[in-house]
Structure 1
Amino acid sequence: MLAEDSIRAHEAAHHPDARKLIIGNTECTIFDLAGHQQARRSWRHYFRKVWGIVFVVDAADRARLPEARAEIDALLEVEGLTRVPLLVLGNKIDLPGAVSEEEFRTALGLYNPPFHMYEKGPIKVCMCSVIMQQGYGYGFNWLLKQVLGMHN
């Protein structure tokens, strides 16, 4: 759990959950939104005031990558999210069978370099392992820099 500064298995969210997360010297309010299909319908209720999005994908679950791509594509089409920075985390790279960054980008349709200003807004892809505490810090710092640059 990043918000609690502890490393342990995180049970999948069933309902939206608000938490505080400190990135550098900045306190951020984050919402952990459930990712199962029924819960995705409630995502739109959070879009009005969103300043940044972190989309976490299980890089070891190859069968669900097309589903993740469809959801990312749908997010990029939401009118209220135009220009909102998107951090895509390919998590669980520590597990056997996890895809490489190249396979991940290809599967999600994110072919460009790690930092690229897409037509819809800035997007960054970071491969990570929350359990191993690697790879996500750089992405969160990038996202914070994007958000602060847009709102200062």
Structure 2
Amino acid sequence: MGPMLSKKFLKTQQVVLMGLDSSGKSTLLYRLHRGVVMETLPTIGFNVVTLELDKKTTLTVWDIGGQGSMRANWRYYLEECEALVFVVDAADRARMDEASKALKKILKDQNMTDVPLLVLANKSDLPDAMTVSEVSKQLDMESYKDRVWEIQACSALKGLGVQQAFRSVAKLLQIK
């Protein structure tokens, strides 16, 4: 017999990262994964990264492209989704209605029943950015009474709130 493995097998939880194009999803993901800001291009398709938050928590994060032409395919990434992180550009007031409609459509998908939601108000460090309260109102977050959700401010470029955001995802998954 070979030696026993001391590390217990841990299930990797599937997290889907969605939001409109230019909201900062890829920047956020790579900031968390690599600890630095990387130059990103619009995501065509998806990026996937496995994050080990601690010895007990591993997340596989799917960063899905947010261009209008990609959104019809979003539903295909929701089948194994265990938590949704929806990223909005808190400084882009003109697209908040579009973001709200996109979020509502995602959450209506049959695969999203009981899936916890974290909304990240990215670019919150910009002087013209909306507050978390304003973003929450714009996205009509109070209407989501059928699920566990949180909303937080962050800045992918500066790294503010990024680690905390994914620790919150881990907590939401435990509540689920």
Band of TM-score, shorter chain: 0.7 to 0.9
Does the 8 A contact of 2:75 with 2:106 survive in 1?
no
1:125 aligned residue: 151
Matched residue pairs, number? 145
Residues 103-146 of structure 1: CA deviation (Å, up to 9, x unaligned): 1111111248xxxxx43311110011111211233232121122
The aligned amino acid for 2:73 is S
Residue 61 of structure 2 corresponds to residue 35 of structure 1 = no
Residue 46 of structure 2 corresponds to residue 20 of structure 1 = no
Residue 176 of structure 2 corresponds to residue 146 of structure 1 = no
The aligned amino acid for 2:77 is Y
In 1: Cα distance, 2:116 partner to 2:89 partner: 20
In 2: Cα distance, 1:121 partner to 1:23 partner: 24
The aligned amino acid for 2:157 is I
Within 5 Å, give how 1:84-123 maps onto structure 2.
Answer: 84-111=115-142, 118-123=144-149
The structure-2 alpha-carbon separation of the partners of 1:50 and 1:140, relative to structure 1 and needing over 3 Å to count, comes to: same
Q: Following TM superposition, by how much is the alpha carbon of 1:147 offset from its aligned partner in structure 2, in angstroms?
A: 1.6
Does the 8 A contact of 1:9 with 1:131 survive in 2?
no
The 3-state SS of whatever aligns with 2:70 is helix
In 1: Cα distance, 2:135 partner to 2:145 partner: 20
Q: Which residue, out of 35, 47, 52, partners 1:5?
A: 35
Does the 8 A contact of 1:124 with 1:139 survive in 2?
no
Same amino acid, percent of matched pairs: 31
The 3-state SS of whatever aligns with 2:141 is coil
| Long gaps (5+) in structure 1 | 113-117
Once superposed, which parts of structure 1, at least 4 consecutive aligned residues long, lie more than 4 Å away? none
In 1: Cα distance, 2:140 partner to 2:168 partner: 21
The aligned amino acid for 1:32 is D
2:79 aligned residue: 48
Larger Rg: 2
TM-score (norm 1): 0.86
The 3-state SS of whatever aligns with 1:37 is coil
- Whose RCO is larger (CA < 8 A, sep 6+)? 2
Point out the more displaced range, 97-106 or 79-88. 97-106
The aligned amino acid for 1:66 is D
